[in-house]
Amino acid sequence: MSMFFTNLVNGLAMGMVYFLTAAGMSIVMGVMGISNLAHGALYMVSAYVGWQVFKGFHGPFTLAVILGGLTGGLLGLLIERIFLRRLYKQPNEQVLLTYGFVYILTNLCLWIWQGWARMPFTAAALKPITIGGLRFASSRLLLIALGALFAVALWYLQDRTRLGARVRAGMDDKEMAQGMGVNMEMVSMLVFFIAAFVAGLSGVLGAQVMGINTEAGSTILVQALVVVIVGGVGSIQGALLGGLLIGLIDTFGKVLFPQLAMFTIYLAMVLILVVRPRGLLGRRG
């Protein structure tokens, strides 16, 4: 039983990292029709920046998280403003361009921080927590709590604010929204920034469990794509559900069917796609 609860926490924590990374990607795809494969690289760069602030400059963790997020957001905004805005409705070019950024940003990280892996940098400050005789890593519990907090914040932003209404309007019918006076250019810019900002936050938080290395961006990108497909494009709730599901399937898959560790999440993705081609909570259209 203890193994079940331990892995439940492990799976939920990983699920929250996947959710935070995939949420922005999903909304960007939904609102702007952009497949941003550099999303994982933004996660990685931000994680390194967080490490630099906390370990290199001995700054507080909150500052590391905020600056990590801002780095992701600003880098994402730059990519969107300088490159991607010229490539709307050109999916092949978007994919090639943003995948190129994966290489550029990975090599930039290699150049600045070199290839050696960094450990979770709050490790010394976080002691394990014992609940009901079971020992849990506090970094994972913290990740679950923060993930839930961001899920509520993102849901509120999308479903309860004027910006969220404009985003949803844009997703449903961009031309109509523009016709009604919504500045879709500004909305797209803001959405891209927020998406990349959340990916950056996710990078710093995810690093407290997995550490940081130059592979992290590519690895998380694949997981995030699976989450977007499973949860459905353009939905925060879908990204949350997809993230948690993939986190749990991946974790319990490794425990129960270790020989299939490489494939369990893809098997789950295929099965869900067969039943729900739009993903679990994907928007129509």
Partner 1 sequence: MKLSKLLFVAGILGLLTLPTLGADPIKIGALFDYTGPVAELGPKFEAGLRLALEEVNYTVAGRKIELTIYDSATSVSVALDMFKKLVDSDGVKIVIGPLMGDAHLAIAPYASEKKILTTTLLNSMRSVATRPGTTYLLYPTTCEAQTYWFGQYCYNVLGHRTMVTIGANYAGKIAYANGAAQGFIAAGGTVVGQLWPPVGCQDYSPYISGLASTVADVILYALEGPGPCSRFIYQAREAGVTKPLVTITMDGDYTPEALAELGDLGLGIIGESAYTWQLDNPENKAFVAAIKAKYGRVPCSAEQNTYALAKVILAGLEKTGGNVEFDDLWEAVLSSKLNTPAGSVSWTSEGVAITPAYVCQAELVNGVYQLSAPLYTEPKLIDPTLPSSQKK
Rounded Cα distance, 118 and 52, in Å: 10
Min CB(218)–partner 1 separation in Å:
9
Pairwise CA distance, residues 139 & 129, whole Å? 10
Q: Are 149 and 161 in contact (CB under 8 A)?
A: no
* 85 vs 254 by CB, closer to partner 1: 254
Q: Which two tokens stand for residue 138?
A: 């506090």
Work out whether 105 is an interface residue with partner 1 (CB under 8 A). no
Between 45 and 220, whose beta carbon lies closer to partner 1? Answer: 220
Nearer to partner 1, 23 or 220 (CB): 220
Q: Is 129 in the site for partner 1 (CB under 8 A)?
A: no
Can you give the C-alpha Rg of the chain in angstroms?
18
Residues 6+ apart with CB under 8 A from 34: 28, 80, 84, 87, 88, 94, 192
Q: Nearest distance from residue 138's CB to partner 1, in Å?
A: 9
Using CB under 8 A as the binding rule, whether residue 135 contacts partner 1 is answered as: yes
Quick one: 6 or 178, whose CB is closer to partner 1? 6
Q: Which of 70, 146, 190, 209 binds partner 1 (CB under 8 A)?
A: 209
Length of the chain: 285
Q: Using the rule CB under 8 A, give the single segment among 35-43, 135-143, 182-190, 231-239 that binds partner 1.
A: 135-143
Residue 225 in the binding site for partner 1 (CB under 8 A): no
Instruction: Give the nearer residue to partner 1 in terms of CB position, either 3 or 82.
Output: 3
Site string for partner 1, 246-265 (x = CB under 8 A): ----xxxxxx--xx-xx---
Question: Which x/- pattern, by CB under 8 A, does the window 3-42 give for partner 1?
Answer: x--xx--x---x----------------------------
100 in contact with partner 1 (CB under 8 A): no
- List residues binding partner 1 (CB under 8 A): 2-3, 6-7, 10, 14, 106-107, 110, 114-120, 123-124, 128, 135, 137, 139-140, 209-211, 213-216, 219-220, 250-255, 258-259, 261-262
